Structure 1
Amino acid sequence: MWPFKKPERAADLLMREALKLAKATVGGQQIVAQGGGGGVETRWRGASRMLRSMASWLPGLGSPRRDFNQNERRMLVARSRDAMRNHLIARAAITRLRTNVVGTGLVCRAQVDHAALGISEEAADDLNGELDRLWSLYADDPRECDAEATLNHYQLQALVLVSSMAAGDVFVASPDQERPGCIFSTRLQLIESDRVCNPNNGMDRVDLVDGVEFDGLGSPVAYHACTGYVGEHLAGKPLSWERLSVFGAETGRRRVLHVMADKERPGQKRGMPYLAPVLEPLQKLERYASAELMAAVISAMFTVFIKKSSDFQPGNLPMTALAEESPGGDDTTDGELALGEGAVVDLGVGEEPVVANPGRPNAQFDPFFTAVVKEIGAALELPLEELLLHYSSSYSAARAAMLQAWRFYSLRRWWLACDFCQPSRELVIDEAVARGLIDLPGYGDPAKRKAYCQAIWIGPARGAIDELKEANAAGKRIEIGVSNETLETAAMTGEPWQQVFRQRVREVDQRRKHNLQALPKGGLENPPEPKNEED
């Protein structure tokens, strides 16, 4: 029954209630609805508490410690690692980063500042070569750089990237340990995010948050690392916590590196997993895809049911047909009926099968799946084409997607070089100078030390969809002066231009020595020789 005396009165009553709500008072002051329609009581619709779409959205303001609290972070880390293990899209996102950001490793090329050191460019080139040879001795040998003696520095780069993206951060200690047959004693020991926490799982303090101890300015001074994993107890080894100083007490060198995926707020001490914002849609999408796949499998099953009437007698059929059957029907060991590929199921008397057609494959699955992956890719800064490795559009659209993805890859590559690669290289140069492996005058001066340690980190090349177009564009950029051969060589091949040039010179000299010169551009087999050096 209509609750009002007249139907036309319903709209009037609803409008009156809305006006009463709009004229409510807060703190003794009347709230007046602002202009623009909708009865919004605030100038910004996003701050309204009256709009039905916003009434239940009431987040609170909190400090970085509260918004990134320990319990929620651990749950996000656990779910992120599980998604990386079992969810296809999540694993694709992480492995895509590993392959494009690190690939076969970021190669270091020394670039000492000759002006700051007061040396010539030729002397700087010789010094760069000597520093590169020292770094290769360390980075190429797993026994030199890895505390576990299993991965070289380039493989450690990939592990650091994956660990930090999956767990939010990873810590790298640099213990000093001598090994027979090794040149250096500086080892890199990776410590997973789970192991860094407050001693005995205690509460946070003013100067200690989630295992990170810091000073009055917020700078970290020590990390508290558990000897094992909290909750995992091994026989004969009780858990304990070790305080790892961030900087050396005498030298001030960096002793522990904290590689954090993202720092979104000032004062934030721990990082959040890369997949944290998209874990919910990832889980739902994975369940939806699994359900569709199972429905398609069931729909593809073809099973024959044999229905018998009440006057059925086993003797009316050949013995081979029902050799293992009882008169009552199917007599399997488990007593259950199941669908199968081309299976024949014998039903009992009075039993009748009912086939449920799931109607799969669903024609709308792919458009919906693609739409959700687009949103996930937007949050992860990975275009759909790059995330799914499916370049089905035009050349221009595919290249635009690749360029957009490479902006993100370049940012992550720079971040990895700043947080892990360059600091670990500086530790090695420090030890090389201390051991007398290289002579760097004035290295004790912080300004000169930075001049000696300058370097560039070159990763795998971006690649090209159409190499001819990319090569022509690179040549045009060099021709008009907006680029140079060093940048273009690194972008197209991932190798330093100096190395490519020296190798090219050797190849040309060899061809000339054996009269194997390439044909000139005009195609003349015997081009006229110049009469003199000026010609």
Structure 2
Amino acid sequence: VAYWVVKDYIDKPLLITPEQIERIPAHDSDGLPVMLHLFKPTRPDQYRGVPLLANVIETLHNTRNYAQAELQAAIFQSAVWGFFTSNNPTSDETVPLSDGFLDEKVPLNEEAVKEDLQLSPYTQSRTNSVKSQLFPTAKVMSAGQFQHLAEGEDVKFLQSTHPNNNFDAFMKAHNLSVASSIGIPRQVLECSYDGTYASARGSVLEANRTFKAYRSYFIESFLKPLFEVFAYEVVDELGGFDDPLFVARALSIESVWQAPAALCLDPRAELEGARLAIEMGLIDADEAAQMIYGHKAKRGANVENI
């Protein structure tokens, strides 16, 4: 019947006054729509739309965090980490500089470490000093370098566990749940048809069924009402009609909106199916061409030369 619209942006909705709200009728005096509110209701008495991914938005957010964590772990473990172990540690160990060369003997100074840790992390000149104080027994090995170890020392390397072998299977299972929640197959969501032709064709048809449902609602809720207003203006300007609104509404109801063609995986099979449909009188050549190629049939096209 009507819509209540807040004129200005209100930071605190509970403090809205009646002067800030405007009532807009849904139709004018001629019966034409004034305001179109587009959303696909899923239950009676629903006045606001629900986003398509509302039921899986939290899952998508957590999956993004998991994917970023896996990527960071893979980057972290792509470096070769080794630990020098010793059965006879001494305080005379040398410490490395940032360029890999060994510096002179520096004893561990706890007060200096505490002082350096309180500095800004962007103070690069002190960072190497802090690392050297924290890890007095560390050694740096550059590419192609052989390090002579002291008596009782050994080198142990970390075993990489990333990339996770189960990551791909997890993402496919997650994409399956997301795709099923919005009514399309997983292959269409991933744009990956790694199977037989029958499987890929079934996925495309199943997704096209969902697309047609949303497309049909959009046509009935948006395109036809706009066409009704346009037709009313044309009919009223031409004159000669007792009820221009009735004529405009009839034109809007009978109007046909052709959508873009769906994905065609096998044109020969599609054309054979279209030929049978035309011979049975289910569709004509224009509708067949629109479904397969996205445009009307060429002039003179018929069942024999389609």
* TM-score calculated relative to the size of structure 2: 0.71
In the TM superposition, what is the alpha-carbon distance from 1:269 to its structure 2 partner?
A: 1.8
Aligned partner of 1:280 among 34, 39, 58: 58
Segments of 5+ residues of structure 1 without an aligned counterpart are: 1-220, 233-238, 338-344, 505-520, 522-535
List per-residue Cα deviations over 1:455-501 (Å, max 9, x = no partner): 1112211021122322233223323444321221110122234xx32
Which amino acid is 2:20 matched to? S
The whole-number CA distance in structure 2 between the counterparts of 1:325 and 1:417 is: 79
What SS does structure 2 have at the residue aligned with 1:424?
A: helix
Aligned partner of 1:496 among 270, 273, 296: 296
Aligned partner of 2:123 among 333, 357, 368: 333
Does the CA contact (< 8 Å) of 2:82 and 2:158 recur in 1?
Answer: no
RCO (CA 8 Å, sep 6+): is it higher in 1 or 2? Answer: 1
What SS does structure 2 have at the residue aligned with 1:458?
A: coil
* Structure 1 position 349 matched with structure 2 position 136: yes
* Structure 1 position 375 matched with structure 2 position 177: yes
The whole-number CA distance in structure 2 between the counterparts of 1:270 and 1:312 is: 71
Which amino acid is 2:288 matched to? E
The whole-number CA distance in structure 2 between the counterparts of 1:272 and 1:300 is: 43
Change (3 A) 1:413 1:310: same
Q: Which residue of structure 1 aligns with residue 263 of structure 2?
A: 463
What SS does structure 2 have at the residue aligned with 1:223?
A: strand
Aligned length: 263
Q: Which residue of structure 2 aligns with residue 241 of structure 1?
A: 21
Change (3 A) 1:358 1:306: closer
List per-residue Cα deviations over 1:148-200 (Å, max 9, x = no partner): xxxxxxxxxxxxxxxxxxxxxxxxxxxxxxxxxxxxxxxxxxxxxxxxxxxxx
Aligned partner of 2:35 among 251, 256, 259: 256
What SS does structure 2 have at the residue aligned with 1:288?
A: helix
| Identity score, percent | 25
In the TM superposition, what is the alpha-carbon distance from 1:426 to its structure 2 partner?
A: 1.7
In the TM superposition, what is the alpha-carbon distance from 1:247 to its structure 2 partner?
A: 1.2
What SS does structure 2 have at the residue aligned with 1:278?
A: helix
What is the aligned-residue RMSD (CA, Å)? 3.9
Does the CA contact (< 8 Å) of 2:94 and 2:102 recur in 1?
Answer: no
* TM-score calculated relative to the size of structure 1: 0.43
The whole-number CA distance in structure 1 between the counterparts of 2:213 and 2:239 is: 32
Matches within 5 A, 1:89-168: none
The whole-number CA distance in structure 1 between the counterparts of 2:62 and 2:82 is: 35
Segments of 5+ residues of structure 2 without an aligned counterpart are: 13-18, 117-121, 141-155
The whole-number CA distance in structure 2 between the counterparts of 1:486 and 1:286 is: 45
What SS does structure 2 have at the residue aligned with 1:426?
A: helix
Aligned partner of 1:296 among 68, 74, 98: 74
The whole-number CA distance in structure 2 between the counterparts of 1:349 and 1:309 is: 10
Change (3 A) 1:443 1:375: farther
The whole-number CA distance in structure 2 between the counterparts of 1:479 and 1:432 is: 38
Change (3 A) 1:405 1:322: same
Q: Which residue of structure 1 aligns with residue 241 of structure 2?
A: 442
Q: Which residue of structure 2 aligns with residue 451 of structure 1?
A: 250
Q: Which residue of structure 2 aligns with residue 478 of structure 1?
A: 278
Q: Which residue of structure 1 aligns with residue 10 of structure 2?
A: 230
Change (3 A) 1:409 1:325: farther
What SS does structure 2 have at the residue aligned with 1:257?
A: coil
List per-residue Cα deviations over 1:83-130 (Å, max 9, x = no partner): xxxxxxxxxxxxxxxxxxxxxxxxxxxxxxxxxxxxxxxxxxxxxxxx
The whole-number CA distance in structure 2 between the counterparts of 1:355 and 1:336 is: 25
